[in-house]
C-alpha cells in the first residue's frame, strides 16, 4: 500500500496549501490512504466541522488531533459522529470521540491511531500502555494490512522511545506537534517506518506557524501579550510517504515530502 501522512495544518495558509496540493499528490503518488493532522487548522488553534469537511473533500481520508483538540467547542458534537476524525487515544475514558479506527481501502484495512505524549504536555493516561492495549486487538499483516500512529508530542526522546517500543508492530510511527520537519526518516530494524516530526503544513516564515512579532516578544518580555495569530504567507506542505509490504504490512520504503513555501523540496518518486 502507498500511504501519506501530512503534518500539523496551521491556519488558513496551511489549509489552502493542503487543499490545493492534495488532489495532485493523490494522483502522482497513487496513494491508497492519506492521514492529516488538523489540530491547528482553525486560526492555529483547534478544528471546526467546516474545515474538517473541506479537508476530507480535498482528499484526506483520516484527520488526527492533539493538545488543541477541544479549542473549538463546536468540534465536540461533530467528533462523536465522525469516525474519520481521531483525538488522542490516551485521553481519559469518557472523553468524546475515539482515538483509533480501522478504515477500509478496497479489500484492505488500515488501522490509524493518534496518541499524545506526556513530557512537557498535558497529564494524560500513558500513551505506551494505551497503545499496547490497542495493538493487542490488531495484528499487522493478519487482521489489518497496514497501521499508522501519529504521536503528538514535544520531546524527541519520548517519540523515539515510543517508536522503539512498537517497532515491528505497525507500518509507520510519525511525530507531530513541534512543526519542524526532522531529517531522520528511516525504516527501523523491526520494519516500522519512523520520522520524529513530519513538520507542519503552513507558512515557515514564522515562529512554528505563528506571526513572528508577538511570538518572539514572548521571549523578550515575560508578560501576557496579544493572542498569537497564524502567519499568512505561502505554505509549505510537509509529510511522510511510505510504501508497505502487502504480506507483512511493514514498511518497504519511507521518504519525507516537502513542497512549496520556500523549504528545500523533496518529493517521493511516483
pLDDT band at 224; cut points 50, 70, 90? confident
C-beta atoms surrounding 109 within 10 Å: 16
Catalytic: which of 68, 152, 177, 179? 68
Integer CA distances (angstroms), 119 to 21, 79, 116, 161, 222, in order: 33, 26, 9, 12, 23
| Tens digit of each residue's pLDDT (9 = 90 or more) over 75-90 | 999 999 999 999 999 9
Domains annotated for the chain, with CATH where assigned, are 2-259 (3.60.21.10)
pLDDT band at 218; cut points 50, 70, 90? confident
Integer CA distances (angstroms), 56 to 5, 73, 189, 225, 238, in order: 14, 20, 34, 35, 18
Whether the pLDDT of residue 100 is over 90: the answer is yes
* 43 assigned to active site: no
pTM of the model: 0.96
C-beta atoms surrounding 160 within 10 Å: 17
Average pLDDT over residues 180-190: 98
Which distant-in-sequence residues (6+ apart) come within 8 Å of 94 by Cβ?
A: none
Amino acid at each position: 500500500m502507498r500511504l501519506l501522512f501530512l503534518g500539523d495544518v496551521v491556519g488558513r495558509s496551511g489549509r489552502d496549501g493542503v487543499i490545493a496540493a492534495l488532489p495532485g499528490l493523490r494522483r502522482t503518488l497513487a496513494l491508497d490512504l492519506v492521514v492529516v493532522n488538523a489540530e491547528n487548522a482553525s486560526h492555529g488553534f483547534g478544528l471546526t466541522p467546516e474545515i474538517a469537511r473541506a479537508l476530507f473533500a480535498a482528499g484526506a481520508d483520516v484527520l488526527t488531533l492533539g493538545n488543541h483538540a477541544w479549542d473549538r467547542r463546536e468540534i465536540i458534537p461533530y467528533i462523536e459522529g465522525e469516525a474519520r476524525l481521531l483525538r488522542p487515544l490516551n485521553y481519559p475514558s469518557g472523553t468524546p470521540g475515539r482515538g483509533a479506527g480501522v478504515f477500509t481501502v478496497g479489500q484492505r484495512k488500515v488501522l490509524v491511531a493518534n496518541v499524545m505524549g506526556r513530557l512537557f504536555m498535558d497529564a494524560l493516561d500513558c500513551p505506551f500502555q494505551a497503545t499496547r492495549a490497542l495493538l493487542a486487538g490488531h495484528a499487522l499483516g493478519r487482521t489489518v494490512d497496514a497501521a499508522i500512529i501519529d504521536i503528538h508530542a514535544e520531546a524527541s526522546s519520548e517519540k523515539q522511545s515510543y517508536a522503539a517500543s512498537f517497532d515491528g508492530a505497525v507500518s509507520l510511527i510519525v511525530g507531530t506537534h513541534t512543526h519542524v520537519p526532522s531529517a531522520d526518516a528511516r525504516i527501523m530494524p523491526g520494519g516500522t517506518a519512523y520520522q520524529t516530526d513530519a513538520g507542519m503544513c503552513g507558512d515557515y516564515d514564522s515562529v512554528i506557524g505563528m506571526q513572528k512579532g508577538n511570538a518572539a516578544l514572548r521571549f523578550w518580555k515575560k508578560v501576557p501579550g496579544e493572542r498569537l495569530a497564524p502567519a499568512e504567507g505561502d505554505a509549505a506542505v510537509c509529510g511522510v510517504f511510505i510504501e508497505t509490504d502487502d504480506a507483512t504490512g511493514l514498511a518497504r520504503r519511507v521518504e519525507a515530502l516537502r513542497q512549496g513555501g520556500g523549504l528545500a523540496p523533496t518529493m517521493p518518486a511516483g
